[in-house]
Structure 1
Amino acid sequence: MPADEHAISPFGDDALTVAIAEPVLAIEARAELLRAEGWAEAVLATTGTLTLRFDPLRVGADEAASRLRAALARPAPPPGAVAQEVVLPIRYDGPDLGAVARMANMTTGDLVEAHAAATYTVAFLGFTPGFAYLDGLDARLSDVTRLASPRVRVPAGSVGIAGGRSGVYALPGPGGWPLIGTTDGRLFDSSADDPFALRAGATVRFEPS
């Protein structure tokens, strides 16, 4: 897609966002190239959107937009070049495990088996930093809905189900997803250039521990 077809918009004083009509794996491939250039503070790929944060003391907004536009003018690398494969250990000890099983008309054993057997793809990251929305959930669990009253604080590493997806909380925070388990996999490393372990397009499997 030519660069002038991308509408780049400011997102606060130190970020830009752009809609991209490409598969999420292709958008993540573009994000990986931008990270490698080294001038962006952070680059986040989601379904249909790329958001980039920059340091306005080093790179002005106009210059950042120009660099982003130039990057978008280049063909994206093959998506497979940046795909991750991540295996997360999981304990099925979530406080909502029984309620989710009843909602899905399954035994807890069947629920655990169904969730662990699936291979997931990170569709995008949102609503709290690093929260991974995972496609690939067993269809029998597709009718599980969010909690009527969200929790004020959900621990990091919590694994939930809602709206036809599974989700993983990289950081503690509020949340309304029914929780079925916990992973001790390292999802956030503040010392790393890219602190979150999961990216859009990554393949994720859960391994009961």
Structure 2
Amino acid sequence: MRCTWMAGAALVALTMTAGGCGSKKDDSALLREEATNLRAQLEQRNNALASAEADRRTLAMQLADLRRQLEDANARAADVGRTTGFEGIENVQSVYGDGEITLIIESDVLFDSGQAALKQSSQRSLSQVASVLNSQYPGNGIRITGHTDTDPIQRSGWKSNFHLGAERAYAVMEYLRQRGVEVNRMHIASFGPNRPMGTKQASRRVEIAVLQNE
């Protein structure tokens, strides 16, 4: 009888032990599944965060671009109807852009073909240009550039179109100096045939740029 009771007790204990092991295994599986789900959720959150950051950078660049466009539009609007003081000077076209005023004078107005000596007829217009430079732009730098057409030099004796453009720019600078424009705020350059316009006649020109004060 005692042996039977002990056998029964042992069977109950074994059953309880087996049940406890099964419960622990189930809990471990649940924890692993929960950890897997949490990792998946974390990855989703990280991906969403990275996507949001990329969107933020894109929007920031778009906003900066819109601001630049607005600034450009405001600058163009301010230029509309702007007067420079050079309006009405015969044979002188004035263009305003990028903070500079550029005066365009066709070389055929200033010089005879292949020559770098100013025509007498051009001096009235240049005198008016000098007057405006002295009265309205006394502190601005002045860049004078000579331009030619693309035809190579053949009979005029100049070494190249660059030499001709430089001599013509110098002739204009010298005349402006004689009319009171300070030489230390003027400089010259020649682009020769490198910046042609729509026609050969328009390409042959001298440009006088009134620079922004720094």
Name the TM-score class by shorter chain.
under 0.3
- Which TM-score applies when normalising by structure 2? 0.20
Instruction: Specify which structure has the higher proportion of strand.
Output: 1
- Which TM-score applies when normalising by structure 1? 0.20
Larger radius of gyration: 2
Instruction: Specify which structure has the higher proportion of helix.
Output: 2
